Amino acid sequence: MKSMKATRRDVLALMAGAAAFRAWPASAQTGSEIEDLRAGLNSADFNQVWELARDRFYDPSLHGLDWEAVKARYRPQVITARSREDAAAAINAMLGELGASHTHFYTPEDPAYYQLADIFVGALEHRGLDRTFPKGDVAYPGIGAFTETDSQGRTFVTGAIEGAPAHQAGVLVGDEILSADDRPFRPVDSFRGRIGAPVSLQIRRASGAAPISISVTPADLHPGEMFLRGLQASARVIVAGNNARVGYVHVWSYASRRYQAALEDLISEGALKDADALVWDLRGGWGGAQPQYLDLFNPRAPTMQVKDRNGETGLVDVKWRKPVAMLINQGTRSGKEVLAYGFKEYRLGELIGQRTEGAVLAATAFLIGDDGLLLLAVEDVLVDGKRLEGVGVEPTIEVAFDSRYAAGADPQLDRAVQVLAAS
């Protein structure tokens, strides 16, 4: 959830003065000099993250931690880390001691770095963004898939954004990605310098099955536009066995009012207008939703139609007055959980799937050094006086779903269609 205060003021993005790893000066090329520089950069980032947590974390007591002692315990691990990835892991282990959602350190190897930079772009100091994104906007090379690595080191697709390269190439939720062009898969690095050029993904679609090859063409992804196009492209009507027309839409991010506006357009005059019922999919992606978005399903509020002198009409305060169900899972987080809570509490429809993540704090983002980003919880959140952080929202109809090797199957969506078709 974006901090409400952060939307009303600029948030200072502290910038470290050292150059990024990828910009070492020619004079620092010996092994010992590189080691010293790496340690210095790691230390600068670590200190910056530690200080921001000390000064801005929503709980001034830092959940009772001796933050100085925590610093002493983790600083040696960061300084001696031999890679950016190892340093980030140590920093995140330190942040993990706080036991709070919305508190994580990201590097450019993670799509979330770019997605969060885009979400919080209005609050980030642009001097840092200009160095990372010379064209002035946030973008990264990728295929538009969410992935997750399990305890065995296997990487699985947990989401394929409609209309993005992965989805267009036929990558499915549940696919295990084994390699990219015969090298270890990296969500961003596998596609650097390859925009517009085919990359061969080796995937395993069923446990123990032989790998298959899928050719995917990475693109220069602009996060906000990707999530908006994904929402629009996801909209479709599913015809159930009794000829009920059940609409479906997946909202990947709610970190802007434009996503809610796009949903309103779809149900008022777009692909979902004539559906008999609606499946509202809030699984995965990012939060940022505001409670008033639930007014879309308020049966006691009017809507208006306006017409100008040229005869063009439009709707004000669009409403959906037909049956609706919401899909949730462990990837439903932040502002989406607030919507899930209200949807259930005020009995707007069935909540189908699995308990939400329980990540309901307000956060903002800070640029760290030249190539780091800290998401930090800066405000506590209660919903109707209740705490959802660490608790989550339980579904009204539970449908378990381990998406690994799902091969495109979706029992949670299937159940939602079944329920709505019978309503």
pLDDT classification of 315: cutoffs 50, 70, 90: low
Same-domain status, 191 and 174? yes
Residue 98 lies in a domain: yes
Same-domain status, 232 and 342? yes
Same-domain status, 111 and 258? no
- Does residue 302 or residue 69 have the better pLDDT? 69
Which stretch of 21-25, 146-150, 185-189, 209-213 has the lowest confidence by average pLDDT?
21-25
Burial of 9: CB neighbours in 10 Å, binned 0-12, 13-18, 19+: exposed
Same-domain status, 213 and 227? no
Which stretch of 19-28, 77-86, 290-299 has the lowest confidence by average pLDDT?
19-28
Q: Tens digits of per-residue pLDDT, 95-147?
A: 999 999 999 999 999 999 999 999 998 777 555 667 777 776 899 999 999 99
Which stretch of 11-25, 50-64, 240-254, 397-411 has the lowest confidence by average pLDDT?
11-25
pLDDT at 40: 62
Same-domain status, 175 and 116? no
Residue 30 lies in a domain: yes
Nearest to 109 by CA among 21, 29, 207: 21
The domain boundary, picked from 88, 103, 132, lies at 132
pTM (2 decimals)? 0.89
Residue 38 lies in a domain: yes
The domain boundary, picked from 195, 221, 247, lies at 221
Same-domain status, 110 and 31? yes
pLDDT at 240: 93
pLDDT at 39: 61
Query: Region 364-370: what's the mean pLDDT?
Result: 88
pLDDT classification of 371: cutoffs 50, 70, 90: confident
Which stretch of 195-204, 263-272, 292-301, 384-393 has the lowest confidence by average pLDDT?
292-301
Same-domain status, 67 and 169? no
Same-domain status, 84 and 149? no
Q: Tens digits of per-residue pLDDT, 277-309?
A: 999 999 999 999 999 999 999 877 666 666 677
HSE-CB at 215 with a 13 A cutoff on CA atoms is 3
Are the CB atoms for 174 and 196 separated by under 8 Å? Answer: no
pLDDT at 7: 41
Same-domain status, 216 and 353? no
pLDDT classification of 203: cutoffs 50, 70, 90: very high
pLDDT classification of 27: cutoffs 50, 70, 90: very low
Work out the percent of the chain whose per-residue pLDDT is above 90. Answer: 77
The total of structural domains in the chain comes to: 3
Quote the domain boundaries for residue 47.
21-132
CATH code at position 189:
2.30.42.10
pLDDT at 123: 75
Strand-strand pairing, 140-142 and 104-106: unpaired
Same-domain status, 217 and 232? no
* pLDDT higher than threshold 50 for residue 394: yes
* pLDDT higher than threshold 50 for residue 20: no
* pLDDT higher than threshold 90 for residue 158: yes
pLDDT at 132: 72
Dihedral sign, CA of 41, 43, 49, 52?
negative
Query: Region 231-239: what's the mean pLDDT?
Result: 98
pLDDT classification of 200: cutoffs 50, 70, 90: very high
- Does residue 1 or residue 419 have the better pLDDT? 419
Which stretch of 45-59, 115-129, 225-239, 333-347 has the lowest confidence by average pLDDT?
115-129
Query: Region 373-390: what's the mean pLDDT?
Result: 96
CATH code at position 124:
3.30.750
pLDDT at 335: 97
pLDDT at 151: 93
Residue 355: both structure tokens together? 């308990």
- H-helix or E-strand containing 377? strand 372-379
pLDDT at 83: 87
Same-domain status, 330 and 229? yes
* pLDDT higher than threshold 80 for residue 26: no
Residue 3 lies in a domain: no
CATH code at position 288:
3.90.226.10
Nearest to 141 by CA among 90, 91, 195: 195
Within 8 A by CB and 6+ apart from 312, the residues are: none
Residue 299 lies in a domain: yes
* pLDDT higher than threshold 80 for residue 181: yes
Nearest to 365 by CA among 90, 59, 3: 3
Residue 287 lies in a domain: yes
* pLDDT higher than threshold 60 for residue 415: yes
The domain boundary, picked from 163, 188, 221, lies at 221
Query: Region 179-194: what's the mean pLDDT?
Result: 97
Residue 384 lies in a domain: no
Which stretch of 78-87, 110-119, 153-162, 253-262 has the lowest confidence by average pLDDT?
78-87
Residue 381 lies in a domain: no
Same-domain status, 127 and 185? no
pLDDT at 128: 63
Helix, strand, coil abundance in the chain, percent, nearest 5: 35, 20, 45
Nearest to 282 by CA among 257, 314, 259: 259
Across all residues in the chain, what is the average pLDDT?
88
CA distance 137 to 288: 20
pLDDT at 43: 87
pLDDT at 33: 47
